A and B are shown apart, each in its own frame.
Chain A
Amino acid sequence: MELLCCEVDRVRRAVPDANLLYDDRVLQNLLTIEERYLPQCSYFKCVQKDIQPYMRRMVATWMLEVCEEQKCEEEVFPLAMNYLDRFLAGVPTPKTHLQLLGAVCMFLASKLKETIPLTAEKLCIYTDNSIKPQELLEWELVVLGKLKWNLAAVTPHDFIEHILRKLPQPSEKLPLIRKHAQTFIALCATDFKFAMYPPSMIATGSVGAAICGLQQDDDVSSLTGDALVDLLAKITNTDVDCLKACQEQIEVVLLNSLQQFRQDQGDGSKSEDELDQASTPTDVRDIDL
């Protein structure tokens, strides 16, 4: 039995590396380099002629669904969105190529972060075969070139553990806080508002929003309100007001997302099965506002 388990467990993850997580220099370096990987401009205004903000949301929602259905690592989706935004900030793209671009970005992010990456064939099936694997592979090279092969972008996930370990939360609460924060991060990646925010701010805001959300049912934190925001802002050197604004925006996006979900639920034409694959990340539904 033991042997069989080992054989089966092909998805291997490194154990959390205390040298990386408990060293402040790592956090400081992440904060120093994170802005290198932000898209260089708000591309709807100055680069893209065909693509509208709602199309980014459509492709982002689709990408999140694919990542969830394929049980990708949490970072894959935000990382893929980072590639997408950086590419679109430099290269005018017709909307009919946007889904291909999304697929390429997932392909790359998955290869960078996962032990068993998504295959080109699978991604093409997810586009309803509107693109061919060969095209996906060809465009992979274009995206790589345009991103200057800088794929190891900093994502909000990189900050989560650094933030959590500095909070005075009881350790048994951390898994839930972490899970909610991850959901918020995914939610932020679907919304262009957050595309130009530094990942550290999104991470900090997401942790803040997660703790605030959980506090309502339960005594999650010994800190409340402003004290919590102050502490969070200090951890990632974020401006307190910016952080507050960011956290509020996250809560608004969550609210919209929940409303969208309830609308979908009210729509009788959808089966239970389809609802399960709705774009809203599962955990969001558990949060009671």
Chain B
Amino acid sequence: MPARLEPAERARTGTEGARPPAGRHSERDARAVHRSTASASAMERLVSRRTFPPLVRSSACRSLFGPVDHEELSRELQMRLAELTAEDQRRWDYNFQQDMPLPGPGRLQWTEVDSESVPAFYRETVQVGRCRLLLAPRPRPDGAGASPPPGPPAEEPLDGLGEAPASPSSGSAAAPAPAPAAAPPESAEQEAGPPPRNQEPLAEPPHSGVSGRPAPGTAATSAAAATSAAAGGAAIKKLPGPLISDFFAKRKRPAPEAKSSNEVPAGCTAPGGAPAVGSAEQTPRKRLR
């Protein structure tokens, strides 16, 4: 039985992958260190976690509610992801699939700024192997441009543990990968060589992130920029279109009003079609003890 489980043990995801394979070592160590009571509990834990996969049919290995319909599960997943995407769109007045601000008067008003004028941290990067390259600013496009169809998020290894943090705007993060091919290669190369990933381009002054121009103010702005940075991994794939980082949000209305417009009483009676979805965490509710 342990032999059967071993492959699964090896094929760890994300963070685990970086760790040394402790399995066999700790088995040996366990004998060597048995006298040390200080590390006994740690040993116990290690043994339980790694050495002999103890899941050899322990009573805890059980299916609680019968077989899972994987197709139904997948449909439900798509639905929930679409909800989250719609929610993000509402929240930011921004279409993350097309990387365009929503037209019409919304809660936020987006203003285009030159991507050169923001700290490097907020700019698009592209990951090539273990390197992360800064993209050159692209010419101002006209109109919505050709945006690739939003792909099914299921195609992406959504482990959320790896290099790129899974972004809240799941829809855009899931854009299919015709990316690097579609990207004009020179745009990636002209600005920076292959620096180690996350390193800022050489052209940038060392403190560009801090000393940058006065940031345009509101919390919404920096949050929006942060979102764009998070969504960056996907947005880079659509070079012809404008980028979220080309826009910054300005709060149109004063904060309290905006907040109250979001508020949904007690999560049970959300207005509109989607009952209670997403309303749950909107506003902390004060409760009397």
Contact surface of A with B, Cβ cutoff 8 Å: 1, 4-5, 7-11, 35-36, 38-41, 46-47, 55, 58-59, 62, 65-66, 69-71, 86, 89-92, 94-100, 111, 116-117, 119-122, 125-128, 130-135, 137-142, 144-150, 198, 201, 237-239, 242, 274, 277
Pick from B33, B60, B170: contact of A277, CB below 8 A: B60
Task: Tell me whether B70 is interfacial, beta carbon within 8 Å.
Answer: yes
Q: Which residue of A lies closest to B161 (CB)?
A: A111
Task: Tell me whether B62 is interfacial, beta carbon within 8 Å.
Answer: yes
* B29 A71 Cβ-Cβ under 8 A: no
Pick from B15, B33, B53, B280: contact of A111, CB below 8 A: B15
Task: Count how many chain B residues have C-beta atoms less than 8 Å from C-beta atoms of the other chain.
Answer: 74
Pick from B55, B157, B279: contact of A90, CB below 8 A: B279
User: Could you tell me the dominant secondary structure of chain B's interface residues?
Assistant: loop
- Taking the closest CB of chain A, its distance from the CB of B79, in whole angstroms, is 9
- Taking the closest CB of chain A, its distance from the CB of B218, in whole angstroms, is 20
Task: Tell me whether B192 is interfacial, beta carbon within 8 Å.
Answer: no
User: Could you tell me the dominant secondary structure of chain A's interface residues?
Assistant: helix
* A149 B8 Cβ-Cβ under 8 A: no
Contact A4-B8, Cβ < 8 Å, known A140-B158, A238-B289: no
Q: How many Å lie between the Cα of A1 and that of B82 in the bound state?
A: 56
Task: Tell me whether B255 is interfacial, beta carbon within 8 Å.
Answer: no
Q: Which of B34-42, B97-105, B205-213 contacts A (4 or more CB under 8 A)?
A: B34-42
Residues of B within 8 A of A86 (CB): 280-281
Chosen A-B contacts, 9 in total, with CB atoms closer than 8 Å, are: A40-B268, A69-B48, A71-B45, A91-B280, A111-B161, A135-B73, A141-B153, A145-B87, A145-B168
- Taking the closest CB of chain A, its distance from the CB of B197, in whole angstroms, is 22
* B33 A8 Cβ-Cβ under 8 A: yes
Task: Tell me whether B164 is interfacial, beta carbon within 8 Å.
Answer: no
- Taking the closest CB of chain B, its distance from the CB of A160, in whole angstroms, is 19
Pick from B29, B45, B72: contact of A4, CB below 8 A: B29
Q: How many Å lie between the Cα of A198 and that of B286 in the bound state?
A: 11
Contact A141-B64, Cβ < 8 Å, known A11-B45, A146-B280, A277-B59: no
Residues of B within 8 A of A140 (CB): 158-160, 166
- Taking the closest CB of chain B, its distance from the CB of A103, in whole angstroms, is 10
* A95 B65 Cβ-Cβ under 8 A: yes
Q: How many Å lie between the Cα of A198 and that of B11 in the bound state?
A: 40
Q: How many Å lie between the Cα of A70 and that of B36 in the bound state?
A: 21
- Taking the closest CB of chain B, its distance from the CB of A190, in whole angstroms, is 14
* A137 B159 Cβ-Cβ under 8 A: yes
Pick from B22, B77, B160, B278: contact of A144, CB below 8 A: B160
Pick from A39, A41, A135, A149: contact of B168, CB below 8 A: A149
Task: Tell me whether B43 is interfacial, beta carbon within 8 Å.
Answer: yes
Pick from A4, A120, A125: contact of B32, CB below 8 A: A4
Apart from A10-B42, A38-B285: 4 A-B pairs, beta carbons within 8 A: A70-B48, A96-B65, A116-B19, A147-B281
* B64 A99 Cβ-Cβ under 8 A: yes
10 A-B pairs with the lowest CB-CB distances in the bound complex, closest first: A90-B280, A40-B267, A36-B284, A145-B84, A130-B63, A46-B268, A65-B60, A128-B63, A121-B8, A142-B80
Residues of A within 8 A of B42 (CB): 8-11
* A11 B285 Cβ-Cβ under 8 A: no
* A130 B67 Cβ-Cβ under 8 A: yes
Q: Which residue of A lies closest to B62 (CB)?
A: A128
Task: Tell me whether B12 is interfacial, beta carbon within 8 Å.
Answer: yes
Residues of A within 8 A of B222 (CB): none
